Amino acid sequence: MIRNIWDTIRKDIQAIKERDPAARGILEILLTYPGFHALEIHRIAHWLHRHRLKLLARIISHINRFLTGVEIHPGAQIGKGVFIDHGMGVVIGETAVIKDNVTLYQGVVLGGTGKEKGKRHPTIEEGAVIACGAMVLGSFTVGANARVGAGAVVLKSVPPNSTVVGVPAKVVVLNGKRVNKLDHADVPDPCAQQVAKLVERIQELENKIDHLQEQIDNQKLNAL
């Protein structure tokens, strides 16, 4: 058991060294990386959760959130070599499953969409990368080596070796080939879309008012 624990910690450290060019050494990682701290504290909470010490597990999870800014439910299953970069604002739900060598950036949410029972959070397959502020909501799978763009809202399964962006997220690259002309800079802005609809509606109302005013003016002229 101790050997397995050390192997997990070693792979977590190695993941940071490989994926973060700012990491200068093991001691720096051990002392100053909140994403690493969040993972290791979670592994303790998860062990307690599995052994039916659920209240104590939740308390440790709460302390973890206070110390690191990362909220991970003790029930979440997290593999080896996972890298939570910066980590602030990351939320991982109870039934989420994160396989080995996954990368999560700050603000990522692995959440549910309601109060359904059972598996209600996503499964993130090996090697996937979830960028800043992305929300993955529901009980489905993000495939191996998939990429989720910053700010994306993912509501359905993501194929392996693909890239998804937008709100809601759509596949733009699959197996190295572009399947959609949508670029990161062209990700739809829902606020801008709503404003455009309001402007269009206002224009329609103004046209109707002008038409009514014209009818009234014509009636006045006819009356004279």
CATH number of 109's domain: 2.160.10.10
Task: Tell me the three state secondary structure of residue 77.
Answer: strand
Of 51-65, 176-190, 201-215, the one with minimum mean pLDDT is: 176-190
Reported as a pLDDT band with limits 50, 70 and 90, residue 190 is low
Model confidence at 185: pLDDT above 60: no
Whether residue 223 sits in one domain with residue 128: no
Please state the φ and ψ torsions of residue 109, each to the nearest 5 degrees: -120, 125
Asked if 56 and 167 sit in the same domain, the reply is: yes
168 cis-preceded (ω within 30 degrees of 0): yes
Helices of type H across the chain = 2-19, 26-32, 34-50, 54-68, 190-223
DSSP letter (8 states) at residue 101: T
172 and 112 inside one domain: yes
- Whether the per-residue pLDDT at 1 is higher than 80: the answer is no
Asked which of 23-37, 90-104, 169-183, 199-213 is least confident by mean pLDDT, the reply is 169-183
User: What is the DSSP pairing of strand 162-165 with strand 170-174?
Assistant: antiparallel
83-84 vs 91-92, strand pairing mode: unpaired
pLDDT for residue 186 is more than 60: no
Domain count, the chain: 2
What percent of the chain shows pLDDT beyond 90?
A: 62
Question: Considering Cα of 201, then 202, then 203, then 209, what sign does the dihedral take?
Answer: positive
Average pLDDT over residues 135-159: 93
112: helix, strand or coil:
coil
Phi and psi at residue 214, to the nearest 5°: -65, -40
The structure's pTM equals: 0.74
Q: Do 179 and 195 belong to one domain? A: no
Domain identity same for 168 and 207? no
Place of tokens 């209600």: 120
**Which range of residues forms the domain containing residue 26?**
2-186
- Written as one string, the DSSP assignment of 116-129 is --S--S-EE-TT-E
- Asked if residue 52 and residue 24 are part of one domain, the reply reads yes
Give the per-residue pLDDT at 189.
61
The secondary structure of residue 184, as a DSSP letter, is G
Say which residues have a Cβ less than 8 Å from residue 113's Cβ, sequence separation at least 6.
Answer: 120, 137, 138, 155
150, 78: one domain: yes
Residue 126 has a pLDDT of 94
Q: What is the pLDDT of residue 146?
A: 94
Does one domain contain both 100 and 41? yes
Residue 2's pLDDT is what?
A: 63
Residues 6 and 103 both lie in one domain: yes
Is 121 in contact with 93 (CB distance < 8 Å)? Answer: yes
d(CA 171, CA 177): 11
Same domain, 182 and 201: no
CA distance 76 to 98: 8
pLDDT tens per residue, range 39-74: 999 999 999 999 999 999 999 999 999 999 999 999
My answer on whether 155 and 223 are in the same domain is: no
pLDDT bin (cut points 50, 70, 90) of residue 181 is: low
105 shares its domain with 200: no
Please tell me the least confidently modeled range out of 9-13, 102-106, 128-132, 171-175: 171-175
Task: Report the pLDDT averaged over residues 148-164.
Answer: 93
